[in-house]
């Protein structure tokens, strides 16, 4: 059964939606060039599962943002496939030579606009529904072009939410698509409930409710905060549509049974993810080795949530990374704790006495709860992107509160508040544009984070990583040293500092850093790899072999470690072992070009030139512009006795790469050797 009260104007709906989309494009129009940062790298750039459709719904289970969130992983696979069809972009951060980062940003913005439109539709339908329609369905006045009061209020709610700079943490920061995609499905679940209860006709009503269950299922496959959606849907139904729990359950029992069934998917995904690669759960340590208990994490949330609320009102300073610190004593945050207890208590009382207002309070706390209560997320003890959907409750309360105040104080005050709302939206949009400029480069973003949180060791080490990628080695070294001064036992910083030193040729200095990193975190495969590389560059092939073997034991997906292991085994004369390692690497990962190239070189060096030729040809089939494979194919053909073919191959390479001195020299040597 559905009840139609004060059907919203279609014209007002379409006009409002168009204006919201335009506002979003204006506020976020400069967000498309930001590079991959922090969690983007393991979730996208280093995520092999998004490169094939058959693995896209099986994300890695090592604590990446996509762990346990198959729909988010699938969305990144779509981005990767679209980018792969475009022209190569080797200068763009991302997967080797293919990923256009703007496509990921465009996808994120499309999700954000969709969520804003869903929020607009949800609030409109609710304000025109059976409980509130009498109050909000009346025309708002001639200045609003025939729109109802509910239309106007819903537009302001969605506008402020859509352009707010606090949302950059979930929109401009690509990996946090998990937050925005889940929010989109959360809002669609509630919107479908609103349509199902206010749309005339039993069949159409059922279609909307079925769509709501599907949306809820999508949210469960996107992020764990969706866990509260079935309960919040019931609370919304009781407050705004049915009038009581009994009526809601009697009329729509199938809908709520369907919503409850989606918990099964969430439980299965959570079970499979476990502790999300030791990044979330109980009994864990932060990245520096300090234990994080539910109590210390909860105390940190008291501080963080009050900070989020302040940023809603005055969004400065916005910080891309708050580090992994916790609060050790309740005496440090008792004012914030009391404030949150008061707000939570008020929400529960309101849920009983004034259900509409109470739902907004429960919305805020229920959505923040999974990540901001007692279950430690050790990699992020505070994060602005967690406010993405809770902000909708705050925006709704603010707009409806301002409307109630205006009604009480008179039409003139209402007009003034409407103007203030538009001014606030413009100011928020401008601030969002400015905040997006902080994301224009990784180094710029981390400089901003360091300036705002100078005690954040992770911000310093990420700044070092960004500076190292820009070739600013000395500045990178200084950033790493500061990170290690703040947190001496920080495996990631030790590894990255060692990597930067090794890239500068300072292998002897790098080795102790890698060694300390693996002592602190034996499973850090990248540090074992760096240790192996440093030893190999110093000619310590036995030590390098041990390090590469450890890297592969902890990270079997670290293909470069297998490749380098084969090379150092060959350097020690252990040719049978080297061949076995390299052959297995190519057999298991036929698309891994470096492994096949190394195997081909090995075979050519050891007299198996015919096999080497086959591998070089396979490499050129994968990538016709592989210069190394093209040159070595010519050399291998020449050495195999096909001298004319070898010379012709190098002549073709030289035509494609005119002026290449190495190719010119090899070609001259071949011609000089005679027929």
| Domain 590-675 fold | 1.25.40
Place of tokens 């500068």: 504
Q: Is the pLDDT of residue 97 over 60?
A: no
| pLDDT tens by residue, 59-88 | 887 778 888 999 999 999 999 988 866 544
pLDDT at position 45 is: 86
Residue 95 banded pLDDT, cuts 50, 70, 90 = very low
Strand partners, 291: 285
**Percentage of the chain lying above the pLDDT 90 cut:** 75
- Buried b / exposed e over 599-628, threshold 16 CB at 10 Å, is bbbbbbeeeebebbbebbeebeeeeeebee
pLDDT at position 409 is: 85
| pLDDT tens by residue, 323-362 | 988 898 999 999 999 999 999 999 999 999 999 999 999 9
Q: Is the pLDDT of residue 168 over 60?
A: yes
Structure tokens at 435: 């905040």
User: Which residue, among 487, 438, 4, 415, has the nearest Cα to 204 in the 3D structure?
Assistant: 4
**What are the domain boundaries of the chain?**
10-435, 590-675
Q: Mean per-residue pLDDT for 277-303?
A: 83
Q: Is the pLDDT of residue 110 over 90?
A: yes
Q: Mean per-residue pLDDT for 454-471?
A: 95
Task: Annotate 346-383 with DSSP letters as a single string.
Answer: HHHHHHHHSHHHHHHHHHHHHHHTTTSSSS-BTT-S--
Question: Which 8-state DSSP code applies to residue 386?
Answer: G
pLDDT at position 92 is: 35
pLDDT at position 6 is: 55
* Length of the chain in terms of residues written: 675
Question: Which 8-state DSSP code applies to residue 241?
Answer: I
Q: Is the pLDDT of residue 93 over 50?
A: no
Contacts of 429 (CB under 8 A, 6+ apart): 23, 26, 27, 163
* Dihedral, 162, 164, 168, 170 alpha carbons, nearest 10: -50
As a whole number of angstroms, the distance between CA 148 and CA 144 comes to 8
The pair phi, psi for residue 280, each rounded to 5°, is -150, 135
DSSP three-state, residue 325: coil
As a whole number of angstroms, the distance between CA 346 and CA 361 comes to 8
Question: Which 8-state DSSP code applies to residue 531?
Answer: H
| pLDDT tens by residue, 205-227 | 999 999 999 999 999 999 999 99
Q: Is the pLDDT of residue 292 over 60?
A: yes
pLDDT at position 3 is: 46
Q: What's the whole-number average pLDDT of the chain? A: 91
Structure tokens at 425: 């939206």
- The radius of gyration computed from the CA coordinates of the chain, to the nearest angstrom, equals 29
| pLDDT tens by residue, 137-160 | 887 766 666 789 999 999 999 999
Strand partners, 292: 284
Place of tokens 């007692």: 374
DSSP three-state, residue 474: helix
* Three-class secondary structure assignment of 73-138: HHHHHHHHHHHHCCCCCCCCCCCCCCCCHHHHHHHHHHHHHHHHHHHHHHHHHHHCCCCCHHHHCC
pLDDT at position 671 is: 87
3-state DSSP helix/strand/coil percent for the chain, to nearest 5?
70, 0, 25
Q: Mean per-residue pLDDT for 27-43?
A: 90
Q: Mean per-residue pLDDT for 431-447?
A: 95
Q: Are 184 and 225 in contact (CB under 8 A)?
A: no
As a whole number of angstroms, the distance between CA 364 and CA 469 comes to 40
506: number of Cβ within 10 Å: 15
355: number of Cβ within 10 Å: 18
User: Which residue, among 470, 493, 465, has the nearest Cα to 481 in the 3D structure?
Assistant: 493
Q: Mean per-residue pLDDT for 24-51?
A: 90
DSSP three-state, residue 420: helix
Give the largest Cα separation in the chain, rounded: 101
Q: Are 20 and 116 in contact (CB under 8 A)?
A: yes
Q: Are 322 and 383 in contact (CB under 8 A)?
A: yes
As a whole number of angstroms, the distance between CA 472 and CA 290 comes to 31
As a whole number of angstroms, the distance between CA 329 and CA 74 comes to 42
User: Which residue, among 236, 240, 233, has the nearest Cα to 211 in the 3D structure?
Assistant: 233
Angle at 30 between CA 77 and CA 15, to 5 degrees: 90
As a whole number of angstroms, the distance between CA 479 and CA 456 comes to 11
């Amino acid at each position: 059964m559905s009840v139609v009260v004060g059907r919203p104007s279609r014209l007002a709906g379409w006009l409002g939606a168009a204006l919201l989309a335009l506002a979003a494009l204006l506020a976020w129009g400069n967000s498309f060039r930001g590079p991959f940062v922090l969690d983007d790298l393991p979730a996208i750039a280093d995520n092999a599962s998004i490169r094939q459709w058959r693995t896209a719904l099986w994300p890695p289970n090592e604590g990446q943002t996509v762990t346990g969130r198959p729909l988010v992983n699938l969305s990144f696979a779509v981005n990767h496939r679209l980018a792969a069809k475009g022209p190569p972009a080797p200068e763009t951060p991302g997967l080797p030579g293919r990923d256009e980062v703007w496509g990921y940003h465009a996808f994120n913005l499309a999700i954000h606009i969709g969520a804003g439109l869903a929020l607009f539709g949800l609030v409109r339908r609710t304000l025109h529904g059976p409980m509130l329609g009498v109050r909000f369905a009346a025309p708002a006045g001639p200045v609003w072009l025939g729109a109802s009061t509910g239309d106007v209020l819903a537009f302001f709610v969605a506008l402020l939410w859509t352009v707010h700079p606090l949302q950059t943490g979930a929109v401009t920061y690509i990996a946090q698509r998990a937050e925005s995609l889940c929010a989109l499905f959360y809002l669609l679940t509630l919107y479908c409930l609103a349509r199902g209860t206010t749309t005339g006709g039993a069949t159409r009503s059922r279609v909307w409710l079925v769509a709501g269950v599907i949306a809820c299922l999508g949210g469960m496959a996107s992020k764990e905060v969706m866990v509260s959606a079935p309960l919040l849907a019931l609370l919304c139904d009781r407050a705004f549509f049915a009038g009581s729990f009994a009526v809601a359950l009697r009329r729509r029992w199938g809908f709520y049974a369907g919503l409850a069934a989606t918990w099964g998917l969430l439980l299965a995904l959570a079970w499979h993810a476990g502790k999300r690669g030791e990044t979330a759960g109980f009994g864990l340590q932060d990245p520096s080795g300090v234990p994080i208990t539910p109590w210390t994490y909860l105390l940190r949330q008291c501080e963080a949530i009050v900070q989020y609320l302040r940023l809603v009102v005055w969004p400065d300073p916005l910080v891309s990374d708050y580090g992994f610190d916790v609060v050790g004593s309740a005496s440090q945050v008792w004012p914030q704790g009391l404030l949150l207890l008061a707000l939570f208590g008020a929400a529960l009382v309101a849920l009983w006495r004034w259900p509409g207002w109470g739902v907004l309070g429960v919305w805020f706390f229920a959505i923040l709860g999974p990540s901001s209560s007692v279950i430690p997320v050790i990699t992020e003890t505070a994060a602005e992107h967690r406010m993405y959907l809770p902000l909708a409750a705050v925006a709704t309360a603010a707009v409806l509160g301002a409307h109630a105040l205006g009604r009480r104080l008179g039409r003139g005050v209402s007009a003034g508040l409407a103007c203030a709302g538009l001014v606030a939206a413009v100011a928020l949009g401008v601030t969002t544009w400015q905040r997006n400029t902080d994301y224009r480069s990784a180094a710029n973003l981390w400089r901003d984070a360091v300036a705002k949180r100078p005690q954040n060791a992770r911000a310093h080490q990420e700044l070092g990583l960004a500076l190292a990628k820009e070739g600013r080695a000395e500045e990178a070294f200084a950033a790493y040293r500061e990170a290690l001064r703040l947190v001496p036992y920080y495996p990631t910083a030790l590894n990255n500092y060692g990597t930067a030193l090794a890239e500068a040729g300072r292998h002897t200095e790098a080795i102790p850093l890698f060694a300390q990193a693996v002592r602190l975190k034996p499973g850090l495969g990248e540090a074992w790899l760096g240790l192996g590389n440093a030893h190999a560059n110093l000619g310590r092939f036995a030590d390098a072999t041990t390090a590469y073997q450890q890297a592969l034991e902890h990270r079997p997906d670290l293909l470069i470690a297998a490749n380098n292991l084969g090379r150092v085994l060959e350097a020690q004369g252990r040719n049978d072992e080297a061949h076995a390692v390299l052959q297995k690497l190519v057999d298991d990962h036929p698309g891994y070009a470096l492994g096949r190239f190394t195997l081909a070189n090995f075979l050519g060096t050891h007299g198996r030139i015919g096999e080497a030729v086959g591998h070089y040809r396979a490499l050129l089939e994968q990538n016709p512009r592989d210069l190394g494979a093209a040159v070595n194919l010519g050399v291998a053909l020449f050495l195999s006795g096909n001298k004319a073919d070898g010379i012709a191959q190098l002549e073709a390479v030289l035509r494609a790469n005119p002026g290449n001195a190495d190719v010119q020299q090899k070609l001259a040597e071949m011609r000089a050797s005679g027929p």
